[in-house]
Structure 1
Amino acid sequence: MQINFAAAIFLFLGSYFPLSLILAVQDVKATSWAQPLCSSIVFWSKCSLPSLENPGIAWTLLGVSALSLIFFLYALRYFGGQHEMEIEESKTIPNDLINYVFPYVVSFMGLDLGSTGKTLGFILFLAWMFLISYRSGQILMNPLLLVAGWQLYEIRADIEGNKRQLRALSRQPVHPKQRLSSCFIQGIYVLSKPK
């Protein structure tokens, strides 16, 4: 199954939620760091968020990536199993993080959300990273999956009488002799317990 282009954009943007948090923190005005978040013991009575230099861009990036992350985690839970497989061997493999490291490095190299040229250049860079991830079938290789409890496995399995070596994502541990349902999405099997 090929992921719909619009859904792939959401999946990609959701993976950069931590980056949007980093950029928002870097955009906090210097005067806000000297002020307390809450001026009262009662938490909700007199609390305010720090002021941002570029609130429109910072809040937009944060909001879009947060909604995309929620959509991503929701969608991943509901991929239905199309085939059953019996696991013969499994081993965890590290998630490919290199595609996600570059934008984080860029954020610490002086990205100023107030500079239109730098911000548009960064957005262009992310668009290029998205196209590479989407075309290479690596859109599901998302480091936030590890945080959400998903793990990437290399497994050998029997799928309806055919023995295959494959990569799979699973939220629960994968062990030999286990029977699981699978959904094939852009070169990766998403595993779940049979219903």
Structure 2
Amino acid sequence: MAVQDVKANSWTQPFCKSLSFWKDCSLPALDNPGLAWSFLIATALSLVFFLYTLRHFGGQHEMEIEESKTIPNDLINYVFPYVVSFMGLDLGSTGKTLGFALFLAWMFLISYRSGQILMNPLLLVAGWQLYEIKADMEGHKRQLRALSREPVHPKQRLRSCFIQGIYVLSKPK
């Protein structure tokens, strides 16, 4: 969104005027810097908080993996609504900005109510993978979907935390 808000004349100016990187470099000017920076900072803070929280879930149950296979396409299917929402947004137009905020609120509500809140396309970038696994959890055989930052292999013992229908896996400590 911030790139869409760059002033037209900023595209013709060089990013750095010389090789002295810190002295002669400047960011492009924005048409609506307050909103653009607010969205950018809110997004960055949300992403850092989300990834921090996801990495620090303590596993409540221990399981032994019997079978595992990756599900790469499931996360990609959630990318398209996010991409569509960023096309043609004019932060200078109050109606379009409020419409965008309403769209994001609806996307959040739909994701939350459908139990797919963890299906964020940025998880792929951060190294997380979605798996379909068969596991033995406390003597019960289960087939489930799980997110893991580490590769999941048979005979591996992992801890898990159950969040909205998806297990978040971690190595035992």
Residue from 132, 142, 150 that aligns with 2:120: 142
Greater Cα shift, 53-62 or 97-106: 97-106
For residues 152 and 103 of structure 1, the distance between their equivalents in structure 2, rounded to whole angstroms, comes to 19
* Aligned-pair CA distance for 1:186: 1.1
Tell me the equivalent position of 1:184.
162
Residue 92 (structure 1) aligned with residue 70 (structure 2):
yes
* Aligned-pair CA distance for 1:99: 3.8
Q: Are the counterparts in 2 of residues 99 and 129 from structure 1 also a CA contact under 8 Å?
A: no
**Which letter does structure 1 place at the counterpart of 2:58?**
G
Q: Are the counterparts in 1 of residues 75 and 124 from structure 2 also a CA contact under 8 Å?
A: no
**Which letter does structure 2 place at the counterpart of 1:59?**
W
**TM-score, normalised via structure 2 length:** 0.95
Q: How does 1:147-162 map to 2 (within 5 A)?
A: 147-162=125-140
What is the aligned residue count? 172
Tell me the equivalent position of 2:39.
61
**Which letter does structure 2 place at the counterpart of 1:37?**
F
- SS of structure 2 residue aligned to 1:45: helix
Residue 169 (structure 1) aligned with residue 147 (structure 2):
yes
- SS of structure 1 residue aligned to 2:172: coil
Q: Which segments of 5 or more consecutive residues in structure 1 lack a partner in the other structure?
A: 1-22
Residue 72 (structure 1) aligned with residue 50 (structure 2):
yes
For residues 45 and 84 of structure 2, the distance between their equivalents in structure 1, rounded to whole angstroms, comes to 23
Residue 113 (structure 1) aligned with residue 94 (structure 2):
no
Greater Cα shift, 139-148 or 93-102: 93-102
Return closer, same or farther for 1:103/1:146 CA change in 2, 3 Å cut-off: closer
Q: How does 1:19-30 map to 2 (within 5 A)?
A: 23-30=1-8
Tell me the equivalent position of 1:47.
25
**TM-score, normalised via structure 1 length:** 0.85
Counting aligned pairs with the same residue, the percent is 77
- SS of structure 2 residue aligned to 1:44: helix
- SS of structure 2 residue aligned to 1:129: helix
For residues 109 and 46 of structure 2, the distance between their equivalents in structure 1, rounded to whole angstroms, comes to 17
For residues 120 and 56 of structure 2, the distance between their equivalents in structure 1, rounded to whole angstroms, comes to 17
Structure 1 runs (4+) deviating above 6 angstroms are: none
For residues 68 and 45 of structure 2, the distance between their equivalents in structure 1, rounded to whole angstroms, comes to 33
Q: Which segments of 5 or more consecutive residues in structure 2 lack a partner in the other structure?
A: none
Q: Are the counterparts in 2 of residues 87 and 176 from structure 1 also a CA contact under 8 Å?
A: yes
* Aligned-pair CA distance for 1:164: 0.4
